Structures are given as structure tokens and as C-alpha cells.
């Protein structure tokens, strides 16, 4: 079964240029010299538009600033910190880390935490948070998120699908529209931290979340990798993305960094850091290594059961690593 949604207008008629500095200019990279900009009422109609490859798209696209941005700004006023969890590579445990980060933040009962899953085609957060059977309720004031704890709100497209096996086969505009709804229509309430779990890569979802939050600001990104070079080379692309769109990088996390035996606590390297791992890359690029989270088979078990690994196995070296990383993120953000 394919998930469907009523068509939503794209936030911009043109994709952002690959060399954007902070966020999209209203002038495409391949536009002629006197381009009026895609938001202008003259877009696609001015004399300068003649011969431009974007002319037809500009002429048909919506004009003026996105009318939903003020609604997003108003809803996000009550969210103090917004942290993206990114990785250019799939399979490095990014969603697992996002869930662990959220559990760790919410361990402080005074800390109001939210996690927003914008991995539209592969939503894992409902399972990881123990909310696979949850649904979303709507009211006149918006969508109510699901709650893993009294102080841990969760929103994901996974709550909107008829079953866990339903595919979401959407192009960019529909993905962008749903992310916009998560930001402007969800009753997040007062949050100290919002953790945003993203899909791999540097595509529609990433550009959308940055564009929609450009006025309220993103406090930083945590980049997750594994030790081997095949993951590191894609994370370098993610670092380049962050620098081009102006997202502060809080630091790197090396996930699956060695295997710790649950019985004897001895550690072995499963994914060998042949080029020095995240630590060497961080030194090369001037980015802090926030910590290394070792492999522990019980992490996978608790994730499948929707439980907090940190609560179930507080003495695990992986739990200690998570807590140290959270502490360092707080310090960098000035919250300690």
C-alpha cells in the first residue's frame, strides 16, 4: 500500500543552489544577470527572463514569501534549543543515536524534550521510542504528538501510516509539505530541546528543515559516523553541507566504535578505523569529537523493544558514552 497525501504546494518553485552560503537566495545559480528573483511578481515575465532555463517554472510558481513561515516562527518560539542529528551515510546508527540522545535529555524530569522524525521514507523513531501503535490526534489548535514519557514528545510520519510495511513514495514537494506541518501544526508546547532525526544525505528534507527554521535558528548539528573510511567520506559531504547552509556543527559522534562484550567488558574493533576514524577527521577539519559509542548488542535489543537502553543498562560503557556526549552538548550550548 502506498501512503498518499493531499497535494501541498512546494515552499519554493526552485531547488536551492549547491553553493548556497546561508540559505537560498531568491536568484537561482543559473539565472541571467538581471534576474528579478523567484519571489518577484515579475518572475518568468521580465525581459531578463527571456532564454532562462527556469523561465517556465518561475512563471507558474507561487510568488512572494512563504506565508507559512510566520506560523512556523510563532510555533517554534516555545522551543529553546533545536539540534539536528545528521549523517551523510545510512546505517551508521543515526536514528538510534537520536533516540538515545532524546532519552538521555528526558532523563532529567525538568527537561522538556521533543524528537521530530523527518526521515519521511524510513521512519524508525516510533519503534525506537516504543510508540509503534500510537496514533496522532488533532484538535482546533493542531496535532498532538505522541509521548514516550511525560516530558518526551515524539512526532513522525510513522504515526500516520496504516501499517509499518506501507511505503511512502513521495517526491520532494510532499516531503517538504509534511515537514512544514510538523513545524507549524504540531502542539509541541514549551520544549527545552528539540532533537531532529534526519535521513542520510543532503537533499530535500535537509534543505527544508534549514529553510523553515532560518528565522528561529538551528542551535547546531551533531554528525554521526562509524570508524571506517566508507562512512567518513560521506560525513565529510555532510560537513560541507552544514558549512554552506550555515548550520553550526556541535561535533562528531563515532558510533559502533569497537565492540564491548557485555560479560567481560573487553573491547574489540569490529569496524577498523583504517584512516584514523572520527577522531582523525575531526582534527583534520577542526571539529570536536564529542565521544565514541561502542557496540553493545543490548542496544539493538532495547531499540527493538522500544525501551531506553540508558535506563535498562546504566553501567554499560555505551551508556556512559551517551551521557558524556549529552553533557558536552549542553556545555557547548551554554546550558551547563
Q: Which residues are annotated as a binding site?
A: 35, 49, 52, 58, 88-95, 261, 264
Distance (Å, whole) CA 169 – CA 286: 38
Binding residues for ATP: 88-95
Q: Which of 260, 331, 309 is nearest to 100 (CA)?
A: 309
Contact between 118 and 196 under an 8 Å Cβ cutoff? The reply is yes
Distance (Å, whole) CA 240 – CA 117: 23
Q: Is 60 exposed, middle or buried (0-12, 13-18, 19+ CB in 10 A)?
A: exposed
Distance (Å, whole) CA 49 – CA 42: 9
Cell of 168: 511512502
Phi and psi dihedrals of 170, rounded to 5? -125, 150
Other C-beta atoms lying within 10 Å of the C-beta of residue 149? 16
Distance (Å, whole) CA 208 – CA 330: 26
Summarize the chain as % helix, strand, coil (round to 5). 35, 20, 45
Q: Is 159 exposed, middle or buried (0-12, 13-18, 19+ CB in 10 A)?
A: buried
Binding residues for [4Fe-4S] cluster: 35, 49, 52, 58, 261, 264
Other C-beta atoms lying within 10 Å of the C-beta of residue 329? 25
**What secondary structure does DSSP assign to 274-324, as a single string?**
TT-HHHHHHHHHT--EEEEEEE-HHHHHHHHTT--HHHH-TTSHHHHHHHH
Amino acid at each position: 500500500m502506498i501512503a498518499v497525501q493531499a497535494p501541498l504546494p512546494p515552499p519554493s518553485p526552485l531547488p536551492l543552489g549547491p553553493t548556497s552560503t546561508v540559505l537560498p537566495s531568491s536568484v537561482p545559480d543559473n539565472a541571467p544577470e538581471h534576474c528579478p528573483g523567484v519571489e518577484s511578481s515579475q518572475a518568468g515575465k521580465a525581459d531578463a527572463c527571456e532564454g532562462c532555463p527556469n523561465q517556465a517554472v518561475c512563471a507558474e510558481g507561487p510568488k512572494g514569501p512563504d506565508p507559512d513561515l510566520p506560523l512556523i516562527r510563532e510555533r517554534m518560539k516555545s522551543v529553546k534549543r533545536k539540534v539536528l542529528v545528521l549523517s551523510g551515510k545510512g546505517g551508521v546508527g543515526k536514528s538510534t543515536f537520536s533516540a538515545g540522545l532524546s532519552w538521555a535529555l528526558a532523563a532529567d524530569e525538568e527537561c522538556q524534550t521533543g524528537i521530530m522524525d523527518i526521515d519521511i521514507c524510513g521512519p524508525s523513531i516510533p519503534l525506537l521510542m516504543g510508540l509503534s501503535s500510537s496514533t496522532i490526534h488533532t484538535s482546533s489548535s493542531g496535532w498532538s504528538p505522541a509521548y514516550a514519557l511525560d516530558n518526551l514528545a515524539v512526532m513522525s510520519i510513522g504515526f500516520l501510516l496504516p501499517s509499518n510495511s506501507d511505503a511512502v513514495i513521495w517526491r520532494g514537494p510532499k516531503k517538504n509539505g509534511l515537514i512544514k506541518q510538523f513545524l507549524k501544526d504540531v502542539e509541541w508546547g514549551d520544549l527545552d530541546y528539540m532533537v531532529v532525526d534526519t535521513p542520510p544525505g543532503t537533499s530535500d528534507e535537509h534543505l527544508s528543515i534549514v529553510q523553515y527554521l532560518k528565522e528561529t535558528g538551528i542551535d547546531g548539528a551533531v554528525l554521526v559516523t562509524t570508524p571506517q573510511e566508507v562512512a567518513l567520506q560521506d560525513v565529510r559531504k555532510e560537513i560541507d553541507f552544514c558549512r554552506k547552509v550555515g548550520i553550526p556543527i556541535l561535533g562528531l559522534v563515532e558510533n559502533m566504535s569497537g565492540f564491548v562484550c557485555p560479560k567481560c567488558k573487553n573491547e574489540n574493533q569490529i569496524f577498523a578505523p583504517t584512516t584514523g576514524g572520527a577522531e582523525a577527521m575531526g582534527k583534520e577539519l577542526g571539529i570536536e569529537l564529542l565521544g565514541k559509542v561502542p557496540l553493545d548488542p543490548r542496544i539493538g535489543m532495547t531499540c527493538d523493544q522500544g525501551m531506553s537502553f540508558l535506563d535498562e543498562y546504566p553501567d554499560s560503557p555505551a551508556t556512559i558514552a551517551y551521557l558524556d556526549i549529552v553533557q558536552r552538548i549542553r556545555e557547548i550550548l551554554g546550558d551547563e
